[in-house]
Amino acid sequence: MVNLIIDNQPVSVPEGTTILEAARQVYIHIPTLCYLNLDAMKMHNQTASCRICVVEVEGRRNLAPSCSTPVAEGMRVTTNSQRVLSARRTLLQLILSNHPTDCLICAKSTDCELQSLAHEFGINTQKYQQGERATFPIDKSSGALKRDPNKCIMCRRCETMCNEVQTVGALTAFGRGFNVTVGPAEMQPLVNSSCVYCGQCVSVCPTAALTGVGYINETWAALFDPSKKVVVQVAPAVRVAIGEEFDFPTGQPVTGKLVAGLRRMGFNAVFDTTFGADLTVVEESHEIISRVTKNENLPILTSCCPGWINFLRYHFPKLSYMPSSCKSPQQMVGAVSKSYYADKMGIDPKDLVMVSVMPCIAKKYEAAMPEHSHDGLPDVDYVITTRELAKMLKESGIDLRYMPDESFDNPLGESTGAGVIFGATGGVLEAALRTIYEEVTGQELDDVNFTAVRGISGVKEATIDLNGRKLHVAAASGLGNARKILENIEKGTSTYDVIEIMACPGGCVNGGGQPYSQNRAEVIEQRIKGLYMIDGWQSRRKSHQNPSVQYLYKDFIGEPGSEKAHELLHITYYEGLVPEHST
């Protein structure tokens, strides 16, 4: 332990602790901007590029960045001297001098950390009004991520997330002076880079330099078009996060209130993506059992996460045959809505607009892929994030706190507990195991809880006994963890039969479109807890028990893996290549 004094308070902390971390242990507030504590991944962004967190250390001439300065025995630190406060204010004003002042119409207004700091410091005039400013083109080429380099403050958080946590390597720093910014190699558009659109850079960007491409206006236009029937589907992870935008406790499920709010917005039908998750389990379990029985193309990899699939095809193209051919739950609900549901309701599929509410930015890219269409129509027309829906609800004057609890519309609104847990890391695998066990053994599974694959640790493993056949499974979240698993597969050292991978650390609950949490472990854990709470409430907790899914097969699809199932619910990618996005 190291003993020091901070603002005349004695502090004792472990060796290697920074001044910033030591100050926080005794509730001394030091403002930060570039610093980011990724506690869920046990990693920090400590570039010390903004210098907002400077402090005075007795005996040192220069002010020290507290986020990257380790404590020392007997150190005396002052965090609020005149010199410190003056330096912080000057540094913040210099950052603002090269930053756009369009706060009223900025996508991060009220969520911007730079804006919050300016308010905290009482800065209401621009001291440095004259001088050169950066001017860069805005990049929306991917249809999923929007990059505005003019709002980049060089905190380097996105680099840490992209390169160290996700190991995608799509972002790096370029230039000098006013020409410095962060972007893809050679400043190419994102669509021409190795970006997989996981959106984790968006979740940690303190300004609006990185945001999602919005589809709010397109969604409103569809809702106000009398010639269209507009249906909406809601992903599992949304219901345990959107409440945070309306002052509900973190992770509290608000499913029924959310359904009521969507109806009041004018949607003709409100469906549950969890129905698509149950459908995915049935199809994917059939595929898993087939491949395990034949002992071919193993391990089989789940295919629900488009960010992860993009990562595989960019970085491990030789393994592109391994993922399940199943579409994601989002695309399955879209495909069934524009075929089975449209036919039953007498709606021309051309007049049916499918809107998805997703926790994920990569889902925007997925919906626009040419493979995800049928008869020339996209399965999903518009994808809006949890944050976008919260804005639309507020624009409509709808406060979820005062909404009644209403139910989803059937048949695409009926679901099981297994489908709900798709939003958590390990949930897709656990849901599949509940069905695979009963399909293979012919025995009813009394305890459906496969707890070994739960939790936010990077990789979870389990072995399931299927009548003497040992099924070795694993679940990983975060693309850095996925890389380790895939490298072992390429080396031939992997012993797994089935692997679930989600791009975002913690799973979809921590997606790039969720309310901003800066990847805090306690937020991720509470959202996951909310999903398993819903799972526990359900009378049916196995996907194959969903009556509406059973009837869909009987009335329309036939058998799992049938020709009709492959036509609507499966996909063939261009091998080893992420197709170009058409905006």
* Domains of the chain: residue spans and CATH: 2-80 (3.10.20.740), 103-212 (3.30.70.20), 217-569 (3.40.50.1780)
**Residue 131 Rama label (left phi>0; alpha psi -120 to 50; beta):** left
DSSP symbol at 509:
G
Catalytic residues, which ones? 284, 287, 304, 324, 363, 366, 371, 508
pLDDT (0 to 100) of residue 520: 87
pLDDT (0 to 100) of residue 573: 60
CB atoms within 10 A of CB 243: 25
Closest CA to 108 of 215, 226, 239, 214: 214
pLDDT (0 to 100) of residue 575: 47
CA of 519: how far to CAs of 2, 443, 554, in Å?
Answer: 29, 40, 43
pTM of structure? 0.92
Per-10-residue mean pLDDT, the chain, length 583: 96 94 95 84 77 96 95 96 96 91 91 94 82 84 93 93 93 84 88 93 95 96 97 98 97 97 97 97 96 92 94 91 94 96 96 97 93 90 97 97 96 96 96 95 90 89 91 94 95 94 95 91 95 95 96 96 94 52 32
pLDDT (0 to 100) of residue 98: 86
Q: Which two tokens stand for residue 572?
A: 């063939």
Measured in degrees and rounded to the nearest 5, phi and psi for residue 475 equal -130, 135
Helix or strand holding residue 309 (H, E):
helix 306-315
